[in-house]
Homo-oligomer: A and B are copies of this chain.
Amino acid sequence: MHLLLVEDDHLVAEGLCRSLRQQGYSVEHSSTVKSAMQWLQNDEIELVVLDLGLPDGDGIDILKHIKKHRKNLPVVILTARGSIDDKVMGLDLGADDYLAKPFDPAELFARLRVASRRLTQAQTSTLKVGDVEMDTAAFTVSFQKEPVNLPRKEFMLLKALLENQGRVQSKQQLENKLYEWGEEVGSNTIEVHIHHLRKKFPKEFIKTLRGIGYVVGKR
């Protein structure tokens, strides 16, 4: 799990980095508002630990920025300021948690676990045509609820078909979807893959339109 630590005190930062890594996080560290903003461009950051007292700006701005652009990126605020107004402000701006210095690392870790647990929820993108269901995120396919195992190319081909239910696609079009641009295919791969797919699904599931192409689903 990738975590961004925004902390200007180098001593504190160093110690925290080490112990966070020990906890299993991949830690990136910035000590300025500017570099923090840059790191936040990176979509793979999944968790932020944010110190509010920074030299070149206010941490609250970072928080605002995060909540504007990446609503559900969890942020744990860390600060020396202990006033209640600060806390309330931080939480209302969308921080998920708040910790006043000095704090025990164990408590930070516990709070981070809570925050990341919240994160582990999946969004499913499923395609369905007849009894055939595909979850493109999980790379799973099922026919009449029974899981079907498909090699990569077959999976991609089926996906291309399902995504265009009812629309006929030529072999050429399908080829373009399965292969890189430069990658010439000098044979009948699509036909072969179609053949393999047909063995795993009802015979008439993938229809042929001679001279035109292939379709799946209603027409």
Residues in B whose Cβ lies below 8 Å from that of A155: 24, 212
Choose among B92, B156, B210 the residue that contacts A24 (Cβ–Cβ < 8 A): B156
A79–chain B nearest beta-carbon distance, Å: 14
A149 at the interface (CB under 8 A from B): yes
Is A171 interfacial (CB 8 A cutoff)?
no
Select the stretch in A6-14, A56-64, A110-118, A192-200 that faces chain B: A110-118
Q: Are A180 and B210 in contact (CB under 8 A)?
A: no
- Residue numbers in B under 8 Å from A110 (CB-CB): 87-88, 91-92, 137
| Residue interface bits A189-219, CB-to-B below 8 A is 1, else 0 | 0000000000000000000011111010001
A104 to B87, CA, bound (A): 11
Contacts A84-B104, A88-B107, A180-B26 given; does A138 touch B159 at CB 8 Å: no
- A residues 3-29 near B (Cβ < 8 Å) are 21, 24, 26-28
* Contacting pair B211 A122 (CB below 8 A): no
Q: Does A125 contact B (CB under 8 A)?
A: yes
How many copies altogether?
Answer: 2
The 0/1 profile, CB within 8 Å of B marked 1, for residues 164-195 of chain A is 10111000000011111101000000000000
Question: Which listed residue, B1, B140, B166, touches A168 by the CB 8 Å rule?
Answer: B140
Contact across chains for A106 and B125 when beta carbons are under 8 A apart: no
- A2: Cβ under 8 A from any B Cβ: yes
Chain B residues near A84 (CB, 8 Å)? 104, 106-107
Residue A120 is within 8 A (CB to CB) of chain B in the complex? yes
Set of chain B residues within 8 Å of A209, measured between Cβ atoms: 139, 149
Q: Given A24-B156, A44-B176, list of 6 further CB < 8 A pairs?
A: A2-B181, A91-B107, A92-B113, A95-B114, A96-B114, A139-B168
